[in-house]
Amino acid sequence: MAEYVHIPIILFLACLLSHLCKRGFTALIDRGVKTLKIESTNYYFIRNGVSFVIYMVAFAIIFKRTPGLSGLGTTIFASAGIIAAAVGFAGKEAMSNIVSGIFIIMFKPFRVGDFLELDPQTRGKVEDITMRHTVLADINNRRILIPNSVISANAVVNFDISDEKIRYNFKVSVAYESDFELAMKIIKDYLENRDEVLSLQEPQADGTIPPKVNVFVSELGESGILLRADFWTEDFGKALEVSRDLNKYVLLSFRENDIEIPYPHRTVLNKQA
């Protein structure tokens, strides 16, 4: 058994070295982002790549120093057959994730810190890009791990790729019997007085400042009138904050002004035999 004692030692040293390298890279990245304004995405990927290389070297040493495996180790790590071995161990999908991760770094469809949306249930801020997957932190602070091959093959909405400002569409229905013009005024007045809502239009020639918010009748629905308010904020987070507050304000204000928000009604008939 003495000839195998080195295996746990090498693995422990590899884990320790990988941990220290990750901590060192993370500290350098954070410092560079704050002081030098460097792009952090490339360095996060390199940080994860260094760990991969450390473990590969550790396994190579184990193969070389272990009786009975030295010949196999030399064959695997010293010949072109390493490519076939890597594909055999990692599989086609794993190799696809690595290649996709490299393409993400090269073409930069998104960066660490960008807010992405793959679908309404999958969205969040990019926290890390590893050799296998991209990590998103959603609005509930949960981590979503998406394989690089999946995120590269699908359409992704990037809220921060060039301009973080966003136009948000707030929608609410009111009953046909209600005063829809009053409802529009309630929504408009609230949004006009929120500091987070931006005014992107230039003042007119007479000095009049155009309204920040556009509220209009979007649709005449089956059970009510659909109102829509378009407004701009600095980023997606502020738009969500304003929208959440507006939901509560509209509910209370409509109730005070007898403005009904329609909802489905069902009539149940109980037929007696």
Confidence (pLDDT) at 80: 44
**pLDDT for the residue numbered 153:** 84
Class of domain 166-256: alpha beta
Which pair of tokens denotes residue 151? Answer: 């995120």
Written in H, E and C, the secondary structure of 173-199 is: EECCCCCHHHHHHHHHHHHHCCCCCEC
Q: What pLDDT was estimated at residue 36?
A: 44
Does residue 242 contact residue 197 with C-beta atoms inside 8 Å?
yes
Here the tokens at position 206 are 């007479």
How deeply is 175 buried, as exposed, middle or buried, from its count of CB atoms within 10 A (0-12, 13-18, 19+)?
Answer: middle
pLDDT digits (tens, 9 = 90+) for 30-61: 665 555 455 555 566 666 667 777 877 887 77
Q: List 137's β-bridge partners, or say none.
A: 125, 143
Angle, CA of 103, 105 and 106, to the nearest 5°: 60
Residue 53, CB-side half-sphere exposure with 13 Å CA sphere: 8
Can you tell me the distance from the alpha carbon of 93 to that of 147, in angstroms, rounded to the nearest whole number? 9
Domain boundaries, the chain: 1-79, 166-256
pLDDT in tens, 177-224: 999 999 999 999 999 999 899 887 666 666 666 778 889 999 998 889
What is the pTM (predicted TM-score) of this model?
Answer: 0.53
pLDDT at 30: 64
How much is the pLDDT for 186? 95
Give every residue of the chain whose pLDDT is below 50, as ranges: 36, 80, 87, 90
Q: Which residues contact 7 (CB under 8 A, 6 or more apart)?
A: 62, 66
pLDDT for res 152: 83
